[in-house]
Structure 1
Amino acid sequence: MTSPHTPITRAHKRTPVAIEVIVNGVLNQIEGRICDLSEGGARIDGASMPARSRCEIHYAGQVVYAIVMWSEFDRMGVRFPYELSHGPLFNALERARGAASAHPAQIFLSNRSPGFGRRGLS
């Protein structure tokens, strides 16, 4: 008897960031960059550890514990057993979300021609 596959929705919205971190494993210390962050986990590029291993992420004096959920040659996805709710990494996440929600500047709108294209064809 099989059950239909139901997609699992994420509990937290992932936000693109570029945060340099140090990842400590049991036997090694690796520099990496968090490229995708949420309260529940992150994608770290430039660092790789075996799946299901535990590690520490060091950023701005804060240590965040994580479990490697998947791993490739030069990147990995980690889950935080304790959701981010405070500290420098959470503050960086909030800043990134604030910057992403800001509207891009409306530049040169007054110089636009009323027609179609650069030449104002209609």
Structure 2
Amino acid sequence: MPGTVADEERLDRAFAALADPVRRGIIARLSRGPATVNELAEPFDITLQAVSRHIAVLEQSGLVTRTRDAQRRPVHLDAAALEALTAWIDRYRLVHEQQFRRLDAVLKKAPQRNQGKEGIS
């Protein structure tokens, strides 16, 4: 779980990287398996150079890695990095869910008040 300055900086870089819709699209594509820059560029109306820059941002954030496979340089999603983001979000989501459950319990115990205007004619 994040706690150190380095952890916080990694979170900042990852969330900043995911703020861009093209990079989110690249992550979505990589969730189905590794892909080359050309394959990642297909759905976008931008240059290969622009896609490469987006991939570089994702690499710097730790969300993706590149490997060499003969002439290919496939890009891979780092599932552990994505899981760290999910865990960070879940920590706060769970806190709020517990608060809502406690509020629900209090409201169920509270006396029901008559919402209508009975007896007025």
Class of the TM-score when normalised by the shorter of the 2 chains: 0.3 to 0.5
Q: Scaled by the length of structure 1, what TM-score is found?
A: 0.32
Which has a greater percent of strand? 1
Q: Scaled by the length of structure 2, what TM-score is found?
A: 0.33
Q: Which of 1 and 2 has greater Rg? A: 2
